[in-house]
Amino acid sequence: MNRRHFLRTSALFASLGLLSRGGLFSRSTSTKSMPDGFVHLRRNVGIFNGRGGTIGWLASPGALAIVDTQFPETTAKCLAGIPQRGDRQIDVLINTHHHGDHTSGNPVFRPVVKKIVAHKNVPGLQRAAAARAKPPATDRQVYADTTFTETWSLALGGSRDGAETIHARHFGPAHTSGDIIVLFEKANIVHMGDLVFNRLHPVIDRAGGASIAGWITILETAAKTYPSDAIYVFGHGSAAPRFGVTGRRDDLLAMRDYLTGLLDHTRRQIAAGRSRDEIITLDKLPGFGDYQQARRLSSNLGVAHDEIMNAPRA
């Protein structure tokens, strides 16, 4: 699917009309070196790698935006190094979901951002997770002040100073019940949050509303919805050089295949009469033995079992 077809057919952009291919394909000409942890991707958009979920950033003379915030110590480094910021306020901070490695830096950004945006489920999930923490972390949270149910968008900047339009969309429960996908339209960059753990066994937060079956469907939908030549940003990536925190559409489908394999394997084990305790002892998922963070596999198999058996959520 090309960009023009994407803009014409997606319900998200139905009211926006078509954009010129020149604007969509334009790239930044900056060759300045980035501060430590910062990587420029395309046009005025890049990522910051510290500790936790990958931060996305937009920095131009007329627009500043951040996606996710990691932890306070890495967030402070990110804030200090945002290109072209100076002492300007940041137009928007977007949280892709509620987990602490994506929201714990919110308090650092709060004094310098105009608004914090997330799906409507995120503040409640964030509160509940903070209350369950040991010790409780409710006093260290900053929540989104702007929430949405299905879609949200914001146009930033002007025609001569790095204009960009940001879109966010919630497709349904997946990794949690509050995941969103963020598109930087002109840069043609899609931030997937934790909908993709690139060649890693993922976290599947069933208590937070996760659905493995829903996750599979959403990855397939995203692969069909967003431009085929987009750069995708992932919440987490493998240490293997080939599978980092950025990639292409094929990486979304690889994540889909992992989740499909997880459910299929678990269904076969249930059909064979094996108990939950027996199922979760597997040390390598067939066909995915090279996936890193194998310690999560037991938990993932347990979640798959509970989802298939429609067990009550914790």
| pLDDT at residue 161, rounded to an integer | 62
Q: Which architecture does CATH list for 3-249?
A: 4-Layer Sandwich (3.60)
| pLDDT at residue 241, rounded to an integer | 84
| pLDDT at residue 160, rounded to an integer | 65
Residues (pLDDT < 50) of the chain are 1-31
pLDDT in tens, 23-37: 332 333 343 578 889
| pLDDT at residue 233, rounded to an integer | 98
DSSP notation for the chain: --HHHHHHH-GGGTTT----HHHHH------PPPPTTEEEEETTEEEE-SSSSPEEEEEETTEEEEE----HHHHHHHHHH-TT-TTPPBSEEE-SS--HHHHTTHHHHGGGBS-EEEETTHHHHHHHHHHHSSS--GGG----SEEESSEEEEEES-TTTT-EEEEEE--SSSSSSS--EEEETTTTEEE-GGG-EETBPPP--GGGT--HHHHHHHHHHHHHHS-TTPEEE-SEE-SSTTSSSEE-HHHHHHHHHHHHHHHHHHHHHHHTT--HHHHTT-SS-TT-TT-B-GGGHHHHHHHHHHHHTTPPP-
| pLDDT at residue 18, rounded to an integer | 26
| pLDDT at residue 232, rounded to an integer | 98
| pLDDT at residue 158, rounded to an integer | 73
| pLDDT at residue 244, rounded to an integer | 95
